[in-house]
Structure 1
Amino acid sequence: AQIDAARRIWREGFIGEALAAFAARPAMDTSGERHAGTLTGDDLAAFAATYEEPVTHDWNGWTVAKAGGWSQGPVFLQQLALLPDELPAYGSPEYVHLLIEGSKLAMADREAWYGDAAEVPLDALLSAEYNAGRRALIGERASYELRPGSPDGRAPRLGKHASAVAAGEGAVDPLGGPGSGAGEPTVARGVPGGGPADVAPEVDRRGATRGDTCHLDVVDRWGNLVSATPSGGWLQSNPVVPALGFPLGTRLQMAWLEEGLPNSLTPGRRPRTTLTPSLALRGGVPVMAFGTPGGDQQDQWQVHFFLAVALRGAVRGGLDLQGAVDAPNWHHDSFPGSFFPRGMRPGGVTVEARIGERTVDALRRRGHLVTVGDPWSEGRLCAVARDPETGVLSAAANPRGMQGYAVGR
């Protein structure tokens, strides 16, 4: 009862009143002009967060649990469903190619089917039959197409912008570069061909910022697990509400203004989010929580991390979380980004230099447009685990950027 009362204050009490009043006041944004927000008191009063059943997928004795189709979480699960029974050697060029191409298909389905403004056919999208057909699209060469599928025979619908950037019309390179306006906060920027990563300053002359999401995992001795990826878009790009001491979120930037799409701006509906924490069970027992900041990259980096744990098995008395976090990672840009200017780079892949020249050369021979970033530039993962047989707890934190910590007591 006390928790419910506190939540009502957020929606209808002094907190809700302060939020609505603040949103109505024009404030400077990255356009260089002042605009009011869209949030009203009625919006706050009419919506309450709910408890939801996770979406799950079973793979090789593991069960991975993710948020629903209003997030990008099922993209992770579909990437597992797209894997063949026999995988290439872990970390080999063939392995990296397979994961990149599978991710392209899953992200294309995200663009066509995911969102809170329409039914998301998750049962079909994660079914063995559907993904067997999708898997057959993966060839020896890199695909440059945006290829959503037709679950249950339904015709996919892409928005005008997605169709345009997929066709190369007015596309913006998501890697950034002068004047691109690329907004993804945690994409490593490198020079095609192998130059060092170019990290943008935190604040530019207009006041625009390159912030970051946070991720937190917790496990206790009883096996309770928490995985959380809190983010409001860029908190520091939205002025603080004076009466409350915190800013509003800016996740509404995820929604499309074109009507009739699963992620269209719709009253009472959430914008599709890139936030995607993860829980994993082994033999039905919860054993691991993990996640990362990184916008559209989150469920690319996380799949590689998870497979590094699942395929390498028990090391050092338990799951080798740190080894999986440290493993060279990558991301691709063959889909419209969730952040302004919603760019797409068909065939574009950014890899950490530690992945090795052999793999880089092999990917390029397959047609991938490879950008080589700094040795430690891809991924922001952290994870915790509990061995259900011994009760041993373990944790790992990302060394990239020296922002993550693993703490036990």
Structure 2
Amino acid sequence: MDFTTRPTLTGTFGMVSGTHWIAAQTSMAMLEQGGNAFDAAVAGGFVLHLVEPHLNGPGGDLTAIVATASDPSPTVLCGQGPAPAGATPEHFRSRGMDRVPGAGPLATAVPGAVDAWLLMLRDHGSMTPAQVLAPAQHYARHGHPLVARVGQTVALVQDLFESDWTTSADLWLRGGRPPAPGELFRNLPWADTLDRLVASAEGAGSREAQVDAVRSAWSHGFVADAVDRFARRPFRHSDGSVAPGVITGQDLADLSATWEPAVVREWQGHTIAKTGTWGQGPALLQMLGMLDALGDAPDPDTAEGVHAIVEAWKLAMADREAWLGDSGDEPPPLDDLLDPAYLSQRAALIGDRASLTVRPGEPGGRTPRMAALAGQTEAPEGTDPALGEPTVTREAPVSTRPMSTRPASSAPMREVDPTGEATVTPDGETRGDTCHLDVVDRWGNMVSATPSGGWLQSSPVIPELGFPLGSRLQMMWLEQGLPSSLRPGRRPRTTLTPTLVLRDGIPVLACGSPGGDQQDQWQSLFLIRHLAHGATLQEAIDAPAFHTTSFPGSFHPRTTEPGGLVAEDRLDAGVLAQLRDRGHDVIEQGPWTLGRMCAVGRDPQGGLLSAAANPRGMQGYAVGR
């Protein structure tokens, strides 16, 4: 593999890769000013709120994995907020809902991104809140050029903004129109909010005390008060209902971001570190374990390799639906899910033809259970009896579940937007969206961070604060007894899934991608090409991408597309034809449309740093020296 759109950057001082060039350069500026990777990540993260407001915001979530120069053990930062105390299944059912809507105040989890960024700054940074928030203050008050997709997203929800979410219209429809591409955009209410947060640190004493003062102003002070007041107002939701939210200021006060050990697995001489079972990260470790059971690492440019990768992902994502989440009375059976013998049993289910069913396994002999509304339940048309996949009813605890299908020539049910950005309906319902930032500094500190939620289209703007709340609760089921059931105080099973890679116990790679359910699928292609086949960072990012949609989606309305295989048409035509012959429902996308991978690396021998970024959409960039 020798084609790349850009060089893999190398240097010794510091490297950043991000989904927006302004955020990446902001992080680099912190390194140039003497800050470390954590200062850089926090500064870049707050700028991402501004420059990618359709993909993340202060009212959203954050998941990160970090390693420090003094302690290389990978640690997870959880800024995924839980369901508010008033978000009970009974409350939703009393309003005639059978699931959490995809947008609107009732879909709001407690926002955790800001507290998590600040916790990273307090515990591992070296700069003050005033220093790291200064770039975001500047761009909020003086403006920044908007990428075209922001205005396109606003246009999609313009009618909703004008008819009901009028506080959002006041911010985003100035002059009665969406922002134009490249237009200088200012968010003065958010600038004022940032100013007040920075001012709250004055006179607090030590750097750490200053950070805690800002966290308190957010969760116990004027921000929490404004959220509490605004949530009482009724607004329209994506299902057409009109209702107030249930989040309160007390919910913000009760939230504190946390540090947790990473879940790890050895693969190709490396240690892959992911989030715990409240995220989808362990599914990547399962998939890599299944590939080990199949033999040598597959070649993603061949029909045999694509088939193996896609079929392994179907099994891993079925286990995600049945076993991963934060809502059970007992923790998910992680050891059994990652047990090599169990993964070998799962890999043995991969045949020569595409599976059209969702098949969760039985780790440790446990009986899986999936939500009755997880996907669709009719028998798939044209199922090949040779697959040997039994038909079961949805009411039973199942190990195999058939799903309905669609003609191969039809458009995908979940449209794939170029670069894997958000698919948005006119009612604000959003699927497959986030942003990403990786940083490594000259001392060996490393950060992989995936902020998301709080999208401009997810909920009405709180006018005095300048941002909306998120809609992460759509990933929880009203049906109880599931690992991802809606329970107050429990976290939605997030799709945010950064990755940190170690070799001989030393961090060597941080990577991640936006893309909702597809984040880990695209990362797996990158890891296979880079770690197993020796591609450079940029080569592995630039190579043709693909993913399956043959599992219950995380975003409303939680559909399944049996046998769905979405692929960039840069994959060889002969390979795509062979995949169709195997029964895959291949949906060809444009040549540069899937994924927004970012990556930074460090070679412990000599300390050479590297970075690469996704060229799709011409928005993500790596910088460094």
| TM-score for the superposition, normalised by structure 2 | 0.59
Greater per-residue helix proportion:
2
Report the Cα distance in structure 1 between the residues aligned to 2:301 and 2:403, rounded to whole angstroms: 35
Report the Cα distance in structure 2 between the residues aligned to 1:234 and 1:276, rounded to whole angstroms: 18
Residue aligning to 2:367? 155
| TM superposition shift of 1:92 | 1.6
1:120 equivalent in alignment to 2:325:
no
Letter matched to residue 320 of structure 2: R
- Return 5+ residue gaps in structure 2 as ranges: 1-207, 381-401
Report the Cα distance in structure 2 between the residues aligned to 1:172 and 1:232, rounded to whole angstroms: 30
Residue aligning to 1:72? 280
Residue aligning to 1:220? 441
Residue aligning to 1:23? 231
| TM-score for the superposition, normalised by structure 1 | 0.88
Identity across matched positions, percent: 55
CA displacement, residues 242-284 of structure 1 (integer Å, 9 cap, x when unaligned): 2222221111111111111110110110111111011111121
1:142 equivalent in alignment to 2:354:
yes
1:299 equivalent in alignment to 2:509:
no
| TM superposition shift of 1:66 | 0.8
Report the Cα distance in structure 1 between the residues aligned to 2:343 and 2:528, rounded to whole angstroms: 18
Letter matched to residue 229 of structure 1: T
1:375 equivalent in alignment to 2:570:
no
Q: Are the structure 2 counterparts of residues 77 and 208 from structure 1 closer, same or farther at C-alpha, using a change threshold of 3 Å?
A: closer
Alignment of 1:34-113 (within 5 A): 34-83=242-291, 84-113=294-323
Letter matched to residue 133 of structure 1: Q
CA displacement, residues 280-327 of structure 1 (integer Å, 9 cap, x when unaligned): 1112110111001100000110001111101222x6xxxx10000001
Residue of structure 2 aligned with 1:353, choices 556, 569, 586: 569
3-state SS of the aligned residue for 1:115? coil
Contact 1:165–1:343 (Cα < 8 Å) also in 2: no
1:287 equivalent in alignment to 2:508:
yes
| TM superposition shift of 1:93 | 1.1
Contact 1:185–1:210 (Cα < 8 Å) also in 2: no
Contact 2:357–2:562 (Cα < 8 Å) also in 1: yes
Letter matched to residue 618 of structure 2: M
Contact 1:381–1:397 (Cα < 8 Å) also in 2: yes
My pick for the range that moved more, 155-164 or 69-78, is 155-164
Letter matched to residue 34 of structure 1: V
| TM superposition shift of 1:209 | 6.6
My pick for the range that moved more, 296-305 or 157-166, is 157-166
Q: Are the structure 2 counterparts of residues 30 and 11 from structure 1 closer, same or farther at C-alpha, using a change threshold of 3 Å?
A: same
| TM superposition shift of 1:165 | 3.9
Letter matched to residue 393 of structure 1: L
Q: Are the structure 2 counterparts of residues 167 and 110 from structure 1 closer, same or farther at C-alpha, using a change threshold of 3 Å?
A: farther
Report the Cα distance in structure 2 between the residues aligned to 1:234 and 1:339, rounded to whole angstroms: 14
CA displacement, residues 308-350 of structure 1 (integer Å, 9 cap, x when unaligned): 101222x6xxxx1000000101011111111112111111101
Residue aligning to 1:193? none
Report the Cα distance in structure 1 between the residues aligned to 2:366 and 2:619, rounded to whole angstroms: 44
Residue of structure 2 aligned with 1:309, choices 530, 540, 545: 530
Residue aligning to 1:195? none
Q: Are the structure 2 counterparts of residues 345 and 208 from structure 1 closer, same or farther at C-alpha, using a change threshold of 3 Å?
A: closer
| TM superposition shift of 1:207 | 6.2
3-state SS of the aligned residue for 2:465? coil
Report the Cα distance in structure 2 between the residues aligned to 1:93 and 1:160, rounded to whole angstroms: 34
Contact 2:458–2:470 (Cα < 8 Å) also in 1: no
Contact 1:215–1:229 (Cα < 8 Å) also in 2: yes
Q: Are the structure 2 counterparts of residues 88 and 183 from structure 1 closer, same or farther at C-alpha, using a change threshold of 3 Å?
A: closer
Report the Cα distance in structure 2 between the residues aligned to 1:375 and 1:111, rounded to whole angstroms: 31
3-state SS of the aligned residue for 1:57? strand
RMSD: 2.7
Q: Are the structure 2 counterparts of residues 140 and 204 from structure 1 closer, same or farther at C-alpha, using a change threshold of 3 Å?
A: closer
3-state SS of the aligned residue for 1:243? coil
Q: Are the structure 2 counterparts of residues 171 and 235 from structure 1 closer, same or farther at C-alpha, using a change threshold of 3 Å?
A: farther
3-state SS of the aligned residue for 1:385? strand
Contact 1:166–1:335 (Cα < 8 Å) also in 2: no
Alignment of 1:168-247 (within 5 A): 182=414, 212-232=433-453, 234-247=455-468
Larger Rg: 2
Residue of structure 1 aligned with 2:621, choices 389, 405, 408: 405
Q: Are the structure 2 counterparts of residues 223 and 148 from structure 1 closer, same or farther at C-alpha, using a change threshold of 3 Å?
A: same
3-state SS of the aligned residue for 1:74? helix
| TM superposition shift of 1:12 | 2.0
| TM superposition shift of 1:206 | 5.2
Letter matched to residue 217 of structure 1: D
3-state SS of the aligned residue for 1:129? helix
1:325 equivalent in alignment to 2:325:
no
Contact 1:211–1:235 (Cα < 8 Å) also in 2: no
Q: Are the structure 2 counterparts of residues 307 and 393 from structure 1 closer, same or farther at C-alpha, using a change threshold of 3 Å?
A: same
1:276 equivalent in alignment to 2:497:
yes
- Return 5+ residue gaps in structure 1 as ranges: 189-198
CA displacement, residues 154-212 of structure 1 (integer Å, 9 cap, x when unaligned): 11011101264475599587x998996x4876786xxxxxxxxxx99x87665667783
CA displacement, residues 54-105 of structure 1 (integer Å, 9 cap, x when unaligned): 1111112111111111111111111111113323445221111110000000
Q: Are the structure 2 counterparts of residues 167 and 15 from structure 1 closer, same or farther at C-alpha, using a change threshold of 3 Å?
A: farther
Report the Cα distance in structure 1 between the residues aligned to 2:499 and 2:239, rounded to whole angstroms: 35
My pick for the range that moved more, 79-88 or 371-380, is 79-88
